[in-house]
Amino acid sequence: MSSNKKPARRLGRGLASLMTNPAEVPAEQVSPVATEKTAAGDYTAAHGSVPGIQELTIQRIQANRYQPRQEFDDSSLRELADSLLAAGMVQPVVVRINPDDPDKYELIAGERRWRAAALAGLKTIPAIIRNASDQQSAELALIENLQREDLNPMERADGLQRMLEKFQLSQSDLATRVGMGRPTVANLLRLNQLPEDVKNLIRNNKLTLGHGKLLLSITNNKQCSQIAAACAAGEWSVRKLREQIDRLEKNESAAPVVETKSAHISDLEKQLAASLGTKVVLREGRKKGTGKIVIEFYDLDQFDGLLEQLGVTVS
């Protein structure tokens, strides 16, 4: 019996490619000392000698300069450290030779494991050494965290923005390289337009991506910050935030003609906005059954993405 279930979308090239074809770097000569615990020793004991996996001293490894994760939870790191002490390291980290210091290594993947190993007092950890450019290192650091799905939306937006600017990619190219849909990338990048205090609320998990997308519709930064602060303090749902923004828009209107919309039209606007990832306004015409659809976009890449979603091909 055939299954219609679609395979899960794969993020970019994934991390599997990191586990093959390691760089030709001599293994470190680590002299085991009975009083010094090593994660690498635990890995070798559990798995035997594995080609391409080497023991590296923790002090010679440095963080990834393109690491999208900005916060490492102390309690979860402590739990991971306890796990490493009890069971050893199951999966090696991936590193490259530091381009600024050939005597050091720079992480590509596995920063939580590296931090936890240091916290546990381990001296060495198992590592795969790869040849990787700055762009590959940035991509794979982002992909690793996206695959684990534990970056908050602002960290994702920050990581994507850095890649966009540093490597001069289009949004379409960026989406392809990290294995995300183009509308998703466009929506995340738009979060960077929010006031800094609002972005911090998202970074600290006080607000969600859904909250952020709605707050983008408030063009006055001061009002946006006030509403966002009230939302976080009151732990509003996305639905309640939408209601508050609707009230704000009605109270602010100083136009000669105040447009009143039926609940049906308002609901359609919200559904279209959620589908397209941007603000949509429906305006009824004078004649019954006529009107306009206004779809907002904020840069040319997002415009191209909207055309793609609508099935429009421009020759």
111 is catalytic: yes
Is residue 39 a contact partner of residue 88, using CB atoms and an 8 Å limit?
yes
Q: For residues 215 and 224, what is the distance between their CA atoms, to the nearest angstrom? A: 6
Strand pairing class (61-62; 105-109) = parallel
Q: For residues 158 and 152, what is the distance between their CA atoms, to the nearest angstrom? A: 10
Q: For residues 266 and 219, what is the distance between their CA atoms, to the nearest angstrom? A: 19
Q: For residues 6 and 195, what is the distance between their CA atoms, to the nearest angstrom? A: 39
Nearest residue to 299 (alpha-carbon basis) of 170, 163, 162 = 170
Element (H, E) at 295: strand 291-295
Burial class (CB in 10 A: 0-12, 13-18, 19+), 54: buried
Element (H, E) at 200: helix 196-203
Q: Which residues lie closer than 8 Å to 60 by C-beta, 6 or more apart?
A: 28, 103, 104, 105
Identified catalytic residue from 36, 55, 79, 111:
111
Q: For residues 123 and 39, what is the distance between their CA atoms, to the nearest angstrom? A: 8
Q: For residues 299 and 303, what is the distance between their CA atoms, to the nearest angstrom? A: 6
Task: Point out the residues that are catalytic.
Answer: 111
